[in-house]
Chain A
Amino acid sequence: MTLEWIGDAILLLVVLPVVVYLLRGVLNAASSIVPSAHQIAAAATAGSKDLDATALLLTTQDQVQKTIEVAADYGGSLDVILDDAR
């Protein structure tokens, strides 16, 4: 009989507090990750939207190519018109 009371005391005073302490720590750790995960999701979404303008790089590529072609044509004409310095 005495041993049963000792077992009850251990359950209530030792096992239950330890279980609650450990589970609470796990819950706190998991809860602290949630805001960070939401921030990461928001940053990734914003970064994806920022890259919407990358399609304009194709236009820039074409414009640069045309500009260099015009400059090359103009430089070729100047090369014919002007004498060399040396």
Chain B
Amino acid sequence: MPAAGVVMIIAVLLIVLALVYYLVSTIVALQRITNALDEAIAGVVGIIEKSAPVDDVVISINTNLDAGVDLLEGLLVNKAGMSDAVGLVEGLYPGAAGEGFRNFPESKTTTAPRISEVYTKGTLTLARLGREAPIAAASPNGPALRNPSYGSLAARALYPEVRQTRPNSMPRSPVVGTDSPVQYEPSESPGVRKRVPAAVVAAAGRVPPRAQS
């Protein structure tokens, strides 16, 4: 065999060896990719199966929550009035009144009054309802408006500052009864005036008989 033929055979063998090496390596890499993609597909299928009922459940939850919001907003506005309702929300959650109520667009333009000026009627009514009154709900920015355990005492704080902390400065109430310090003699003729006012006399144009005697 000529030398050129031997060299050609060696060159072809080298080419075939290179083809085998790189193609086998490529096949191994593609098999790894296939295995990894199988794992990924299994995970994605799990995600799809687990997330399938989420849509219906979330829609149901949102529907119930929407109904609750509609109910509570309507009740609050109907019972407390728009101004007081906005003030209540602002008092419990400062800054929340600006967002207004969802079903009452006019609430966004309603000026929230100060809580100490607003809750003289509606809040007291709620506070007097008992320990489960909604006004007893905990405020994120301080104590509740009323103490659920001692509701009647806590409701005093909602009145103007006259009798809560300074009862001694108020005039005492008159003492009545048989042991009162000022005793009055019983009338001999109950229901008849001893002295008739001058204006009554002038209007009548005559002297009343009791006054003459």
Contacts and interface: CB of A to CB of B under 8 A. Distances in A.
Q: What interface size band does chain A fall in?
A: 35 or more
Contacts of A5: 4, 7
A44 B22 contact: no
Contacts of B8: 4, 7-8, 11
A41 B39 contact: yes
Contact of B11 (A8, A47, A60, A82): A8
Contact of A44 (B42, B84, B125): B42
Contacts of A20: 18, 22
Given A51-B47, A57-B54, A68-B64, A85 B33 contact: no
Nearest to B21: A23
Contact of A12 (B11, B23, B37, B77): B11
Nearest to B36: A37
Contact of A37 (B4, B33, B51): B33
Contacts of B40: 37, 40-41, 43-44
B79 A47 contact: no
Interface in A34-51: 34, 37-38, 40-41, 43-48, 51
**Per DSSP, are chain A's interface residues mostly helix, strand or loop, or mixed?**
helix
A85 B67 CA distance: 22
Nearest to B66: A68
B32 A1 contact: no
Nearest to B6: A8
B15 A8 contact: no
Nearest to A20: B18
Contact of A57 (B4, B14, B29, B58): B58
B122 interface: yes
B71 A72 contact: yes
Given A37-B36, A82-B125, A85-B122, A30 B71 contact: no
B57 interface: yes
B104 to A, nearest CB: 13
Nearest to B28: A30
Contact of A52 (B30, B36, B50): B50
Interface of B: 2, 4-5, 7-8, 11-12, 14-15, 18-19, 21-23, 25-26, 29-30, 32-33, 36-44, 46-47, 50-51, 53-54, 57-58, 60-61, 64-65, 67-68, 71-72, 75, 77-81, 84, 122, 125-126, 129, 132, 134
Q: Which 8 A-B pairs have the closest CB atoms?
A: A44-B43, A23-B22, A37-B36, A85-B81, A48-B46, A41-B39, A4-B4, A30-B29
9 contacts: A16-B15, A24-B22, A27-B25, A44-B44, A45-B39, A58-B53, A58-B57, A60-B57, A61-B64
